[in-house]
A and B are shown apart, each in its own frame.
Chain A
């Protein structure tokens, strides 16, 4: 079962920042926060991950609260191609099934022209 809670849907104006929240209040100390997205009719795509520090890459930024109970994925300048379902996933590095990605229902982000 997914350990995260996300809003069902969000809209964002093209060119503006998209801020996607995720709650993971039961996250344990050795679990990481991962973000993937799924554009319609395609396979999921990795975006970013983090443990407790904020992270940034060419796709997005990840802000994790100090208590690690929530995080926000930021797409700094959303484009129409960013319209997708965004999944926030908590994942440990232990052996076996705990390492697997467990997808929840995600947030449908729609970028509006």
Chain B
């Protein structure tokens, strides 16, 4: 009964490949997020998304794109992977994007680009 789940937990791939990370939440939340945590442990928001708006952090390359087949899922697609994309990616969700609703985080996906 995991609240926010991500697959895969580990992903090792070559430069130039295209990959996806999946995220699912069973909390009935309206808003989902993607964060990137680099090797220095800084955790940065990449996207927040609900059915009304997509907010993109301006530092995120357009090789990254969120795709939401339904309210419970927000997948992260990455095209033309680069070495610098190696990081841990966390998905999160909240009841909505406003208010004080706490964000619930998934366990993370460790991406290694060789």
Give the interface centre of A32, A45, A101 by most chain B CB atoms within 10 Å.
A101
Is A105 in contact with chain B by the CB < 8 A criterion?
A: yes
Task: Give the residue name and chain of the A residue nearest to B43 (CB).
Answer: A103
Is A42 in contact with chain B by the CB < 8 A criterion?
A: yes
Is B75 in contact with chain A by the CB < 8 A criterion?
A: no
Contact A85 B41 (CB under 8 A): yes
CB contacts under 8 Å to A, within B64-114, are 90, 92, 97-100, 102-108
Contact B41 A105 (CB under 8 A): yes
Give the interface centre of A32, A93, A99, A102 by most chain B CB atoms within 10 Å.
A99
Task: Give the residue name and chain of the B residue nearest to A97 (CB).
Answer: B55
Residues of chain A with a CB closer than 8 A to B42's CB: 103, 105
Known: A43-B92, A93-B98, A97-B55. A103 touches B106 (CB 8 A): no
Is B14 in contact with chain A by the CB < 8 A criterion?
A: no
Is B44 in contact with chain A by the CB < 8 A criterion?
A: yes
The 6 closest A-B pairs by CB, nearest first: A43-B105, A46-B102, A103-B43, A100-B45, A44-B105, A43-B90
